[in-house]
Structure 1
Amino acid sequence: MIRTPRDLLGYAYSPIPNHYESLQSIKSSFHLANPYKSQPINLSFHLENHCASSKPINSSEFHVRQQKLAETLHSLNASAYIAEPGASAQYFGNISLTSWKLSERPLLLIITPVVVDDKVKANISILTPYFEATRAKLLPVPFDSVRYIEWAEDANPYEIAAAEILAEGNVFMDDASRLFIFDGFRKALPRAIISPVPPEIKELRQRKSEAELDLLKCANEATLLAIRNVHKRMYVGMRESEARKMMSIALQEVGLQNGGCLTLFGENAALPHGSGTDRELGEFDFALFDCGGNLHGYISDVTRTVILPQSWQQIPAEHHKIWNIVQFTQTVASRSAIAGAIAQDVDTAARSFLRQTGYDTYFTHRLGHGIGLEGHEEPYLRGGSLDVIKIGHTFSNEPGIYIEGKVGVRLEDCFYINAQGRPVFFTEGVGGQAGSPWDP
């Protein structure tokens, strides 16, 4: 059945249903010895490692990535691709910022296409400071014959690299490369055109493989499970910093690394990135959790705005209405995010619905961002983006309403475009979208 805007508004504005009986069962699952006094935090959740069976990307997938890059470079008449340690070097060469920190001395991944027996193949070189060469050779680069180009302290590293790879024509630098790296190669390769990577190369990382999607699914499921467990231990009088600490522990227990959470109580949630205070949770407050962690390099991002069960009847009716509107806005946006759609049109769909509710001016940021090896990456679901949504793309879907000094609500689930061109929430395996402010 096709819903008209009036139908949609009716859904969003419908009175809060009488969930009293189900709420009693929910309340019984919460451990609130005295909900009106600050309690010591139990620092162990004893959660199951949700991602214990997940495996990092294997060597064969790295080889496929390198081969696709070499073929793309060849088709674009490019002689080299160059990246500093970071998300792109991690994608093509397993060199992350964790394995090699940036400094003024460049270490670079250089991939060049070569034609052997009419077939394009990838060659991989690592430009490394001479005194760091031994450590560089310990990097787990998944390639059979990596070439190491060493440069001494009194040498120009870009001239050394240029002499070794003899690059001409187009040379593509990863977008995240620092300006002095660009300038160094422009001077060292006067006959080459040094430029940022084109869309054809960006797309290689943007469209995720099944192995990548599996990691993102598990990471996002684990994040939501952690939020639910912390929600059960919340109490009136706890501080935002206490909730953050609880979330960090819960994220680690469910199998994620470097987990963290933005926790905002009451009117602090009306500032999307917080106020910098450490507010106590009041009896009638919403609490916003925006959390994520790392699973074998892949990042999760889940947001829930929740209340305590005993606050259900005390929360202002308008706040309940706002929560319902944000939840349905997320649904409207999801229905628009199909393969072939334009990114800005998905953002517009969310805003058009909010405009009919009268709350559109309180949605102050883009609808979503890409996600993968970085928490925020291209493409983005925002106004002005003409990117075409394709199978394998991954995004966040995070509408919000922020009324400063009063209330803030945001709900976020990341999703991918499946083989049929349809959006699927990464959290679907553990329930998907939030059901209510007390059922995240």
Structure 2
Amino acid sequence: MEKRRDVRNLTFKLQDHNTGTVAYVLKGFVLIFLGFIIARIYSTPGSDLRERVSVTVNSFSDLPNHCESAQPIPATEFYNRQQRLADILHSLNASAYIAEPGANAQYFGNVSTTSWKLSERPLLLIVSPILENDQPKAKIFVLTPSFESSRAKLLPIPHDKVEYIEWTEDANPYEVAASVLPSRSKIYMDDAARLFIFDGFRKALPNANVLPAHPDIKELRQRKSEAEISLLKCANEATLLAIRAVHKKMTIGMRESEARGMMSMALRAIGLENGGCLTLFGDNAALPHGSGTDRTLRESDFALFDCGGSLHGYMSDVTRTVALPPSKIPFEDLAIWMDVRTAQTMASRAAIAGAVAQDVDAEARLALQKYTAYFTHRLGHGIGLEGHETPYLRGGSLDIIKTGHTFSNEPGVYIEGKVGVRLEDCFYINANGQPVFLTENVGGQAFDPWNP
């Protein structure tokens, strides 16, 4: 007992003599404990904290904003789109085109799902051709819930005079909208509109012909203007530059989640919104849209990045399958990579104005005929306000390629349990009818796995 008192008294004396020393020691134990916890989390597959720590370490704050000078689509171009739509509606003897917030309403009226979220209460953009001096002019109505009308009137719709049609909670919104439409008419609907919107108008206008959008209407959005091409170029260039920046900082032994976090940081730093990246190492890439397993990168592995972001609403989509300087990629995997690149080149040469979409897809498959069973998806998709939009480069499609069209060109070989390779660059058809990669100004196609 006396010895315990002596030890206790000695401890008190030491604390009185130098309380700072005790505090310092305790602080050291706390830091060691926290370090242990972080290390455990960092070593756990799929850890969000580990990913955030990695992203912080691999900051891309020095990556310049590639699209800093890019401007959104000007009001004058919206006016032109609306007028062209009115001309087509008039030529088709149609009284209106109706769209929900989304890519089509964004194209004609700058109303996206970002500016107005979809709900069970419809807000609709209605474009009608009104005759003035025997010439059709675009008239825009917005059907809005009455209690939301003040917010609806804040929507930045480029038009001289938008007319708002309000419907109260106890009213049928489609019958209210029908009050500005002829009872016997032809009405074209946004293809992406939800089924209950279609049904609502068909019931409210039983004598009208309510139809999905006519091909001439859809072609307006499919064929891009110079301003749209400019935004798509910048977005896709920025995405490729971000992939290259991440590639330079990668190391053997890192995890998929680390590389994915680095890509998110790089895409944000370079000036894109809503950036994201499918990141797959080794045989995980054999599942074209796989979610990965957060495996580590080995010397014998390729790393596949399928990345995109948006710039003033216009999307990017770039895929690279890469190797690192110390990688030791098997010869047969390198041969697959080169064959995929050849397929991409052959498809690009075939994609001229006047070509049939299925024939372009077939060119890529010709280059990969020894991997027929492993090229499992279409060659490409349209791109613009949506990451995937019409028309598509696929077998069975008789769509004719035209100037202003934009597509992805993304052949791939996927051998499950072994390897996956995909290369993707988007391109547009210029005024001369020739394909031009949207990434051309920053080098275009990958040269080899080490030079993406």
* Alignment-mate amino acid for residue 79 of structure 2: H
| Distance (Å, rounded) in 2 between the aligned partners of 1:328 and 1:69 | 40
Q: Which residue of 2 aligns with 1:274?
A: 290
Q: State the AA in 1 paired with 2:348.
A: S
Give 1:246's aligned residue: 262
Note if 1:410 corresponds to 2:425.
Answer: no
| 1:12-411 matches, cutoff 5 A | 40-41=54-55, 42-45=57-60, 46-166=62-182, 168-311=184-327, 314-355=328-369, 358-411=370-423
Task: Return the offset for 1:149.
Answer: 0.3
C-alpha spacing 1:110/1:40, structure 2 compared with 1 (3 Å): closer
Count of aligned positions: 399
Determine if contact 2:339/2:367 at 8 Å carries over to the other structure. no
Alpha-carbon distance between aligned partners in 2 of 1:416 and 1:193, rounded to the nearest angstrom: 35
Relative to structure 1, is the Cα distance of residues 258 and 275 closer, same or farther in structure 2, using a 3 angstrom cutoff?
closer
Structure 1 Cα separation of the partners of residues 149 and 157 of structure 2: 14
**8 Å contact 1:124–1:145 — kept in the other structure?**
yes
String of CA shifts for 1:220-277, please: whole Å, max 9, x gaps.
0000000000001111121111111110110011110000000000000000001442
Amino acid at match of 1:216: L
Q: Counterpart of 2:125 in 1: which secondary structure? A: strand
Q: Equivalents in 1 of 2:293, 2:429: separation in Å?
A: 38
Q: 1:428 — aligned with what?
A: 440
C-alpha separation between the residues in 2 aligned to 1:339 and 1:196? 26
Check whether the contact 1:80–1:167 (CA below 8 A) recurs between aligned residues. no
Task: Report the alpha carbon displacement of residue 164 of structure 1 after superposing the two structures with TM.
Answer: 2.4
- Aligned twin of 1:10: none
Q: 1:164 to 1:121 in 2, by over 3 A?
A: same
Structure 1: which amino acid aligns with 2:117? K
**Do the aligned residues in 2 keep the contact of 1:342 with 1:388 (CA within 8 Å)?**
yes
Q: Using the aligned pairs only, state the percent identity.
A: 72
Q: Which amino acid in 2 is paired with 1:69?
A: L
Q: For each residue in 1:145-166, what CA deviation from the matched residue of structure 2 results, as whole angstroms up to 9, or x when unmatched?
A: 0000000000000000001233
Q: Kindly report structure 1 stretches of 4+ aligned residues shifted beyond 6 Å.
A: none
Aligned partner of 1:35 in structure 2 is none
Using the alignment, how far apart are the partners of 1:406 and 1:438 within structure 2? 20
User: Greater Rg, structure 1 or structure 2?
Assistant: 2
1:192 maps to a residue whose letter is A
Compute the TM-score of the two structures, normalised by the length of structure 1: 0.89
Please name the residue that 1:21 is paired with: none
Structure 1 residue 168 displacement after superposition: 3.0
Q: How far apart are the structure 2 equivalents of 1:48 and 1:429?
A: 16
Single out whichever of 167-176 and 259-268 deviates more from structure 2: 167-176
More helix as a share of residues? 2
8 Å contact kept, 1:79–1:168 = no
CA contact (8 A) 1:115 1:121 kept: yes
1:6 is matched with which residue?
none
CA shift, 1:167, in A, is 5.0
Q: Deviations over 1:302-347 (max 9, x none)?
A: 0000011111xx2110000000000010000001000000001000
Matched to 2:130, the amino acid is V
Q: Secondary structure at the match of 1:433?
A: coil
Query: C-alpha separation between the residues in 2 aligned to 1:422 and 1:226?
Result: 27
SS at 1:310's partner residue?
coil
5+ residue gaps, structure 1, are 1-37
Equivalent residues of 2:256, 2:292 under 8 A apart: no
Q: Secondary structure at the match of 1:78?
A: coil
Letter in 1 for 2:332: E
Distance in 2 (CA, whole Å) between partners of 1:163 and 1:91 is 25
- Per-residue CA deviations over 1:97-140 (Å, capped at 9, x if unaligned) read 10000000000000000110021100000000000000000000
- Of structures 1 and 2, the one scoring higher in RCO (CA 8 A, sep 6+) is 1
Deviations 1:188-236 (A, max 9, x none): 0111100100110000000000000000000000000000000011111
